Amino acid sequence: MNNESPKSNPYALIPFGLFILLFIGSGLVTGDFYVMPVLVALFTAILLALMMNRKTDFQTKVLQLSQGGGHPNIILMVLVFLLAGAFASVADGAGAVESTVNLGLTLLPQNLLVVGLFVIGCFISISMGTSMGTIVALAPIGVGISEQTDIGVALAMGAIISGAMFGDNLSIISDTTIAAVRTQGVKMKDKFKANFFIVLPAAILTAIIFGVMTAGSEAAIGGSHPFNIVQVLPYLAVLIFALAGVNVILVLIGGILFAGGVGLALGEFGFQDFIGLIGSGFTNMQELALIAILLGGLVELIRQNGGITYLLEAVTNRVRTKKGGEAGIAGLVSMVNFATANNTISIITAGPLAKQISDKYQIDNRRSASLLDIFSSSVQGVIPYGAQLLAAAGVAAISPVALIPFCIYPILIAISGMIAIAVQYPRFTAKAESREG
């Protein structure tokens, strides 16, 4: 892709506004968020973007669309979608979901099941460094718990998304962490420490809120909950490999094979059924993969037409003080994330300007890296057209908009971040200048 910054143009954002209007606005007006398929809304916005910028010929704009959709981060996301879908499908066929749910119902206090989902999500995501792998692995379990209790499925999915975004923001192997420390020139461990003290209160408060919200769920659970520990092993294996720092692609492939082996050994399905389950898992994620590709293409068209440059300038031109600089970094990455629906890409895009702001106003680079990651993760965890909510909503068969009120942690880390800016917490004794090798 062309990395030169196009001339600022606010009108380049119109296609994205049209997408939001069609996708969310139609649901708000009609009360049915399925009335406008997201792919139709997205493709309509792409057609509008292709008709803009008459200085560029149509063939070049189609090439820009293709380059945006084929960005390495987008293709990696598609691979994770497909493999995670296959793992979820095979694990479900092997009985892993039912046994894991029943194990949770047996061991966890019945009024803390949602808190347990959140904590497990935190553990998996900080180990794997990916929110998407966490969501797709845990979403079937959340649905199963919802079906056996009076806990709403949207609430269960919100807890999983909250846990997933915890690790997405903090994990030292997360792509957002890598992008943040690289653009700001700091060590990962230093960014982790600065970030951790800001978001820890939000994580604790999230667990408390989920506990209060589900305090009365105990009465709805009854009967026995038989489980086979062998069927739980695929999820446990994914956790162990993730803790060992294995690449998420290898973790998911290994999970598919292990779950398949368990299913075959226990007679849950035959080899042909195993292949069919992998195929159905891929099929279940095809729409999500297409959304990611087309959205990446739309973002590139908007960038080439000057929309992203306008967002960057709109924020940086208003910075005057150190606190204003920190607020500018937060607003900058948030606006770009709203426009790109990808927190890694938003950090990579906003990072160089954030570095300039931090240097100009003497903002510690550990702090600027933390702010980039915190606010991009916050936005990513609440936008209904982002991959995380779309994936969770797809498994739960509900509208992604219905999940937003229950994405407690992404909301609270934004509040924590704003408070940290206002009170200048945490404070640093020396400016970090060394880069992680």
The angle, 0 to 180 degrees and rounded to 10, between the axes of the packed helices 229-243 and 248-265 is 160
In a domain, 301, yes or no: no
Q: Is the pLDDT of residue 190 over 70?
A: yes
Expressed as residue numbers, the domain containing 231 is 70-284+306-437
Cβ proximity of 316 and 357 under 8 Å:
yes
Distance CA 430, CA 187 (A): 14
- pLDDT tens string 98-130: 787 677 667 777 678 889 889 888 877 876 667
Q: Is position 77 within any domain?
A: yes
Instruction: Dump pLDDT digits (tens) for 278-315.
Output: 999 898 778 778 877 888 888 889 889 988 888 778 77
CA distances from 86 to 125, 132, 152, 263, 275 (A): 19, 13, 25, 14, 10
CA distances from 84 to 87, 140, 235, 264 (A): 5, 11, 12, 20
Flag whether 17 is in a domain: no
Q: Is the peptide bond before 426 cis (omega within 30 degrees of 0)?
A: yes
Please state, rounded to an integer, the average pLDDT across all residues of the chain.
Answer: 83
CA distance 227 to 95: 9
Q: Is residue 289 part of a domain?
A: no
Whole-number CA gyration radius for the chain: 22
196: left (phi over 0), alpha (psi -120 to 50) or beta: alpha
pLDDT at residue 218 in the model: 53
**CA-wise closest residue to 384 among 31, 32, 38:** 38
Query: What does the pLDDT read at residue 435?
Result: 43
Q: Note the pLDDT of residue 437.
A: 37
Residue 242 has, within 13 A of its CA and on its CB side, a CA count of 27
pLDDT tier, 235 (very low <50, low <70, confident <90, very high otherwise) = confident
In-domain check, residue 149:
yes
Contacts of 413 (CB under 8 A, 6+ apart): 165, 169, 198, 199, 202, 374, 377, 378
Is 143 part of any domain?
yes
Q: Kindly state the tokens that stand for 280.
A: 């159905």
Tell me, what DSSP letter sits at residue 22?
Answer: I
pLDDT surpassing 80 at residue 328: yes
The number of distinct structural domains making up the chain is 1
pLDDT of residue 242: 58
For residue range 247-277, list pLDDT tens digits in order. Answer: 778 888 998 999 999 999 998 889 999 999 9
- For residue 219, the model assigns a pLDDT of 44
pLDDT at 433: 45
**Cα–Cα distance for residue pair 420/412, rounded to 1 Å:** 12
State the DSSP H helix or E strand holding residue 4, giving kind and residue range, or none if neither: none
145-149, 182-186, 369-373 — which one is most confidently predicted on average? 369-373
> Regarding predicted confidence, which is higher, 116 or 35?
116
Confirm whether 59 is domain-assigned: no
Q: Would you say residue 33 lies in a domain?
A: no
Alpha-carbon distance of 379 to 337, in angstroms, equals 7
pLDDT recorded at residue 228: 84
Neighbours of 289 (CB within 10 A): 20
pLDDT at 383: 92
Q: Which helix (H) or strand (E) holds 147?
A: helix 131-148
pLDDT digits (tens, 9 = 90+) for 344-392: 878 877 887 788 788 888 889 999 999 999 999 999 999 988 889 988 9
Annotate 297-359 with DSSP letters as a single string: HHHHHHHHTTHHHHHHHHHHTT--SHHHHHHHHHHHHHHHHHHHS-HHHHHHHHHHHHHHHHH
